[in-house]
Amino acid sequence: MSFRISPLWWPVLAVSSPVIAPLLVLRNRCFKENRALAAENNRTRISRAEHIDLPELNSMELTVLVESKAREGFIGDAGVSYRFKTDLGSMLFDIGFGPTRPAFSHNASRLGFTLDQVDALTISHLHCDHMGGLSAQRSGKVTVPEEFMPSSPIPCLLPDKAEAPGFDTRLIDIPQVISAGIASTGPLSRSLFFFGYTEEQALLARIRGKGLVVFTGCGHPTIEVILEMVKRLSDEPLYAVGGGLHFPVTDGRGNRAGIKFQMIIGTGKQPWKKITDEDLSRTIRAINEAGPRKVFLSGHDTCDHSLDRMKKELKATTEVLAAGGTYHI
C-alpha cells in the first residue's frame, strides 16, 4: 500500500493534532468559500467572454526547457517552461523553479536560450514551479536566473498581481491576444486548500488548416472549464491540447521526506480526499468529447499511471513532453 504521508510521520501528526485540527477546520471553511467564489467568477467570465480575432498562424513550434521527463543530456524537474515559436514571434511560457534549481539554467544553456530570443514572458499562475521558486512565490516576484534575463525589458504577462523585476509587467485580466499571435484565455479560478484562491491563464492559438491549440501550465481550473472558455472565444475546431492536467492519482513528483506533496496540495480537494481514477476518467471523456487530434501531456504534475491511462484511452495522438524536445504543432 502506498501512503501519501509516510507512517513514520503519523506519531508526529497525532501529537500535534490539537494544534493542526483547528487550523484545518478554519482553512476548510476558507477553502469552501473560495470554491464557491471561483465557480461563480468562472461562470461570469465565461458568460461575458467574446470572440477573439485570433491571427491565423502558419506554424507553431514548442521547445521544452523544463519538464518532469527529460531527453538525454537534459535535467528533469517538477516544473514547466515552454518556448513557443510562431511565424509572428516567440514567447516563453513559465520558468519552472527558475534560479532555485538547476533544470532551467542547465537546459536553457544547452539549448542556447536567453530571453532576448522571445518577445514576452507569460506566467500561467503564481506558483513556485512556474514563476521561479518558492521565494518567488512567497515574495510575489517572478524570478529568472540573471544570466538569462533580456538585455532590455520585455513584457511579463501575469494572470494576477505580482512583480517581475527587469520586465515590463502587465496584468492580463480578460481574454486577449498577447504575443506571437497567441492569446490568453484570461484568468480562470480554482480554490486550492493550501494555496488559496488561485488564478491561472491558459494559451490559445489558431493554426491555418488545423484549428485551435490550447496549452495550460497546471490546468488548475480544470481542462473542462478551460475548454468551455475556449468555445466562447472561437468557433474553430479544436486541434491540440497540451500542458499540465494535475492528476497525481498514485504518486507525485518531487516527493520529500516521505511526503507526497503533490497528492496533498494543489489538487482542488481537501487534503484528506484523493484525486481518483474516477476523476481522471471524467477528464479523459471530456477531452475525447472535445475531439482534439493531438494531445501533448505534461508529467510535471501528473503521475506515470495517469499518463499511461491517457496515452491508452485518449482518442487523439498523444505524446508526453520532455525537456530538450522540440515539437512541431
Q: How high is the pLDDT of residue 156?
A: 98
Position 214 in a domain: yes
Q: How many domains does the chain have?
A: 1
249-265 burial by CB neighbour count: b if 16+ within 10 A, else e? bebbbbbeeebbbbbbb
Position 1 in a domain: no
Range with the poorest average pLDDT among 5-14, 31-40, 97-106: 5-14
CATH code (residue 35): 3.60.15.10
Spatial separation of the C-alpha atoms in residues 113 and 27, rounded to whole Å: 42
Helix H segments across 49-172? 102-111, 128-131, 134-139
Q: Write the pLDDT tens digit of every residue in 139-185.
A: 999 999 999 999 999 999 999 999 999 999 999 999 999 999 999 99
Q: How high is the pLDDT of residue 15?
A: 83
Domain span holding position 48:
7-328
Position 224 in a domain: yes
Do residues 95 and 128 lie in contact, with contact meaning Cβ atoms separated by under 8 Å? no
Q: What is the mean pLDDT of residues 85-91?
A: 98
The residue with cell 484565455 is 185
Helix H segments across 126-276? 128-131, 134-139, 223-233
Q: Write the pLDDT tens digit of every residue in 226-279.
A: 999 999 999 999 999 999 999 999 999 988 888 898 999 889 999 999 999 999
> Global pTM?
0.96
Q: How high is the pLDDT of residue 151?
A: 95
Cα within 13 Å of Cα(102), Cβ side: 6
Considering the chain, what is the average pLDDT of its residues?
A: 96
Do residues 257 and 93 lie in contact, with contact meaning Cβ atoms separated by under 8 Å? no
Position 61 in a domain: yes
- Band the pLDDT of 1: cuts 50, 70, 90: low
Position 2 in a domain: no
Rounded percentage of the chain residues whose pLDDT exceeds 90: 89
Q: How high is the pLDDT of residue 258?
A: 86
Q: How high is the pLDDT of residue 255?
A: 87
Position 164 in a domain: yes
**pLDDT above 80: residue 92:** yes
